[in-house]
Structure 1
């Protein structure tokens, strides 16, 4: 069984630092994901450079199939110890996860990873290996759908020191928090943003250390097929609609003309709902067999704003502002954020005459920019996106 490896990375810079001293490198291959989390010594520019070098070297070498021994040897010889503090210039956690759920992890001086299954924390047996005088902890195990693997930097377990907690948020507290939210949060990004939001609050908005959360959740693939606008050639209407409707997963159609084409070709009625009135977002519609029917460009633009808000402000802010709203843009944004691992987009090339009017806020070229911007953001969230112009 091939699973989707949902990966999310979220960081806070140390207060008044422009660069983060933690660095995460993620490489997706056809059947696996490689993740390296590096924490540079100190903070600021120097820490950022050291962490970047460490993560880049490790991810590249592991991706090329080079052994952990050679990888660690290269890192240690490239980044020697700090002569003053006798500490490594960067600590790291290296992860390789295959799409069957099998995992290999090598850890060096980062906080131990946290593995949660259901509502329980799972202990993992680790092997100690001495390489170049450094103790590396290795582990192999298998993840199942719904399991969450979380790696945090020191900033997470120090959150609150000098502000709300005397000793900071200890590793055990972080573990218990992750156990509590695992069944409540569906995506890796939701888990990571939830945890990073808590850290920022504990620091009182002024992080005392670079703070990074990398969340990995194994999920069954969740596919969304989204049709945006009708094809340029009307003779292809039936072909496009049946190509779109036959695909596995949820069906979403955006655009009044596209919705009418779908209803006509499937010989089904379309009804427009006036139950939810929003001054920014046009009403949604209903077609049997279609999971969501919305207006086109205005709804897409507002959905993009909501997704960007989620990315910038975090999980808690999004839930407070948009999570329970029933307008088309909020439903579309929530569906993409939570219920999507793979997004297939059919982009219609037909030009809507209404978009050419001088008083219409968004024209066709802007529509394509909105779609491409949305695709870019969704890919940055770690989801797989394919697009087809029709």
Structure 2
């Protein structure tokens, strides 16, 4: 199996505006991932429309097999031209990465793409081509395990301009920051969140421009297996547990009944850990061979709530998700975000009287709804999710 292309992105919206003038479009295909970051002219509604059209046109054409010449030509001839500045559409960066690490990148008037390999900043060699009078820079490169890329709009390299920094953050400053942080952030999500928080600080929480960060990390597939039960038929307990523990990757159990099944069927001692107590999240437990054991519905709900924050427009209040917390929900979030590219979930469909109105069908149970929503949210973050009902 090839690499997993870990992608995360978010935007600081210009202060006083409701819509971002930057737009990101990520398309995952069977053998490659396409990333388009477009920066619309100006800000607000007009810029949002231009950036949206650019990112959608480019993403759709690349998905259907068009080359960069066809794509740029279509964008140039489709989007309107600003009558004042005589500038068309928006700037953009297009990236196509295959599972074997081969990458194609094209940039049009966006800040240069950053790259870090083994803790060192790498200058991506680019050549310039002319497409209908538009100068586009492109490159072909083979990526390696652990390589980190970052695509930013000019709001990043202008952060602090005129306030904290006379000339803004500057491209070289951002490169130095990324080089230091890339080795510390295990996932693209952590690095993206970190870089946007730095930008927000430089703007004193009031961005002077739309500020978008797209981070990409080349990773080997990392599997997480989550079991929350119990199975509908008790005689299936042993089969489900054996399948669960024999799967490659990290093992997580959510639910007291599921943990008791594992203790019985595996003949391993289950111990409750009371070293860290939280008023909001029940304590965790430990068992040999299992990476994390938590309570079920409450912990899953708290974890889902934290993960959903990562999809909201960036702000210090919304996106400050603690990956280092000691409670069960924080530990679960860290595993699902930092350690997971592929998530396999075993969901027991036995009715739990504590979570289920007996007058309602089982598919309306709280547990199943939470698990299904978790699967949807994780897929939106780019993870590959499989849910098996038992």
Q: Is contact 2:26-2:34 (8 Å) kept?
A: yes
Q: How does 1:310-325 map to 2 (within 5 A)?
A: 310-312=310-312, 322-325=322-325
**Deviation of 1:372 (Å):** 2.3
**Where do 5+ consecutive residues of structure 1 fail to align?**
none
Query: Which residue of the partner structure matches residue 96 of structure 1?
Result: 96
**Deviation of 1:247 (Å):** 0.9
Query: Which residue of the partner structure matches residue 119 of structure 1?
Result: 119
**Deviation of 1:154 (Å):** 0.8
Partner Cα separation in structure 1 for residue 319 and residue 51 of structure 2: 33
Superposed CA offset, 1:234-277 (max 9, x none):
11111111111111100111111111111211122212222222
Q: Is contact 1:194-1:316 (8 Å) kept?
A: no
Query: Which residue of the partner structure matches residue 207 of structure 1?
Result: 207
Query: Which residue of the partner structure matches residue 42 of structure 1?
Result: 42
Partner Cα separation in structure 2 for residue 149 and residue 96 of structure 1: 12
Partner Cα separation in structure 1 for residue 306 and residue 17 of structure 2: 28
Give the paired residue count: 386
Query: Which residue of the partner structure matches residue 54 of structure 1?
Result: 54
Query: Which residue of the partner structure matches residue 174 of structure 1?
Result: 174
TM-score between both structures, scaled by the size of structure 2? 0.94
Partner Cα separation in structure 1 for residue 321 and residue 106 of structure 2: 40
Query: Which residue of the partner structure matches residue 81 of structure 2?
Result: 81
Partner Cα separation in structure 2 for residue 371 and residue 127 of structure 1: 47
**Deviation of 1:310 (Å):** 4.9
Secondary structure (helix, strand or coil) at the match of 1:293 reads strand
Partner Cα separation in structure 2 for residue 127 and residue 385 of structure 1: 38
**Where do 5+ consecutive residues of structure 2 fail to align?**
none
Superposed CA offset, 1:220-246 (max 9, x none):
111100001111011111111111111
**Deviation of 1:320 (Å):** 7.5
Query: Which residue of the partner structure matches residue 64 of structure 2?
Result: 64
Partner Cα separation in structure 2 for residue 181 and residue 119 of structure 1: 9
Q: Is contact 1:193-1:315 (8 Å) kept?
A: no
**Deviation of 1:315 (Å):** 10
Q: How does 1:227-376 map to 2 (within 5 A)?
A: 227-312=227-312, 322-356=322-356, 365-376=365-376
Query: Which residue of the partner structure matches residue 16 of structure 1?
Result: 16
**Deviation of 1:305 (Å):** 2.5
Partner Cα separation in structure 2 for residue 76 and residue 154 of structure 1: 21
Q: 1:318 and 1:182, CA in 2 relative to 1: closer, same or farther beyond 3 A?
A: farther
TM-score between both structures, scaled by the size of structure 1? 0.94
Q: 1:150 and 1:320, CA in 2 relative to 1: closer, same or farther beyond 3 A?
A: closer
**Deviation of 1:323 (Å):** 3.6
Superposed CA offset, 1:314-373 (max 9, x none):
798799874433221111111112111111111110112233589xxxx97222222222
Q: 1:364 and 1:272, CA in 2 relative to 1: closer, same or farther beyond 3 A?
A: farther
Q: 1:79 and 1:354, CA in 2 relative to 1: closer, same or farther beyond 3 A?
A: closer
Q: Is contact 1:310-1:317 (8 Å) kept?
A: no
Q: Is contact 1:355-1:364 (8 Å) kept?
A: no
Partner Cα separation in structure 1 for residue 51 and residue 116 of structure 2: 27
Judge which range, 206-215 or 371-380, deviates more.
371-380
